[in-house]
Amino acid sequence: MFERNTIMTALNIAMTTRTKEETILGLSKSIQEIGQPLQEYIDSNKTSLREFFNVSIHDKNDLIFDVLLDSAHVLNDGSSASNDLKRFLNEYGVIVAKIVDGDINRTVVESFASSLVKYNLITNHSIGIGLVIGDTITDDAREYASKISFHRKRGISYLILIIKPSPSSAPPPAQQASII
């Protein structure tokens, strides 16, 4: 369903900043399968999307996600937009994001993956995509995230790392162009 490299590239293009709001808006623009139901939900509910931010699972203060798109947190207003988004998330799995100030290293990714496994055990909801977004990605973090069969055995369909520098850490535009 989801294509790992396509998601990484599309999110990198769709997100203008590294924020919770941009993460959700980037998902709606970059992943075809969720794009329509998520955008319809955003448009129909005129929501601030706060229902998906800083979500604590079952009063477990040690299990808080920056962004958590799951059916339990979709506003229950009975609209077709809400019902369609819930149906999608139940069918394909939840989407969880962690936003890191600084480098994404192996320790950060291992900790995030462990929290996804714990979430899966508590809620019995499968993980469609786990995203970690930060300034840079270390080689050991990239290697760990690329162990797709290992993560799938743990209930995580895709573990994706995204480089999205904060404005203060981004190189000047001329340097960005030369890096690309």
Q: Could you read off the pLDDT of 108-118 as tens digits, one per residue?
A: 999 999 999 99
79 belongs to a structural domain: yes
Q: What is the DSSP string of 118-179?
A: HHHHHH---EEEEEEEESEE-HHHHHHHT-HHHHHHTTEEEEEEEE---TTTSPPHHHHHHH
112 belongs to a structural domain: yes
Tokens 């995230």, located at residue: 145
179 belongs to a structural domain: no
CA–chain centroid gap for 119, Å, is: 14
143 belongs to a structural domain: yes
Domain that holds residue 126: 4-165
91 belongs to a structural domain: yes
Q: pLDDT of 18-55, one tens digit each?
A: 899 999 999 998 887 888 899 999 988 777 899 999 99
The count of C-alpha atoms lying within 13 angstroms of the C-alpha of 126, restricted to the half-sphere facing its C-beta, is: 14
Nearest C-alpha neighbor of 158 from the set 177, 137, 134, 130: 130
43 belongs to a structural domain: yes
Q: Indicate the number of domains in the chain.
A: 1
**Other CB atoms within 10 Å distance of the CB of residue 32:** 12
Return the structure tokens found at 28.
């709606």
**pTM of the predicted model as reported, rounded to 2 decimal places:** 0.85
174 belongs to a structural domain: no
